[in-house]
Amino acid sequence: MHHIEKKQYTKESQWKNADEIYLFEVQKFLDLTENIKEEELKKEIVAQMLKCDKRVTQLAEKRFEELEKNE
């Protein structure tokens, strides 16, 4: 994989969004939230999960960048 392609792949979170297990688990989570009757609570839970996912993605991508610099 070319160096520029690596950075683009990392920056766009494609590494995560191409993973079938990740996508399955996210879909399962969203399916489960559909059973929450209180709409505001459902929105808060989904929003919080998305914040956690975003932060984990940022941490992973930072680590990828650090590894690229050390190549």
**Cβ atoms 15, 5 nearer than 8 A:** no
**Residues lower than pLDDT 50 in the chain:** 1-6
Chain centroid to Cα 14, Å, comes to: 9
Number of domains in the chain: 1
The verdict on pTM exceeding 0.85 is no
DSSP-derived 3-state class of residue 1:
coil
Q: By residue range, what is the domain housing residue 7?
A: 3-69
User: Which pLDDT belongs to residue 10?
Assistant: 53
User: Which pLDDT belongs to residue 13?
Assistant: 74
